[in-house]
Amino acid sequence: MLREEDLDHTVRSPINKTEAGKLLEHLDNWNGKVGSSWKIRATANQSVLESGDPFGYVDVYKGLSKLENEGTLRASDRMHLNQSLELLVEELSYATGKTPEKTRQQITG
């Protein structure tokens, strides 16, 4: 059970339109690296997705998209790729007022 007084520390507010713009910029300019050990990568990605940080979702999505283009995704990678995309679509479509379909197209190019 979650007590009402704990809500401010547990549940964050959705991002706003300004933050959405910064998030899209991070998405466009991402130049990170992806770990080569699938087990460590899977644990790190799961932790990022559970953290609730939209910028972390971008890092997971872009890193795993890079691996997907190289043809080296494992089952856990594919699951995290799909989760990060869905979380990004939810965040951005809410903040920008666009439909989830249009937002997904914007993310995936």
Domains identified in the chain and CATH numbers? 35-109 (1.20.58.1290)
- Residue 52's pLDDT is what? 92
44-86 tens-digit pLDDT = 999 999 999 999 999 999 999 999 999 889 999 999 999 999 9
* pTM for this prediction: 0.89
- Residue 4's pLDDT is what? 75
Torsion angle (degrees, nearest 10) of CA 66, 34, 17, 50? 120
- Residue 7's pLDDT is what? 66
Check if the beta carbon of residue 56 is closer than 8 Å to that of residue 47: no
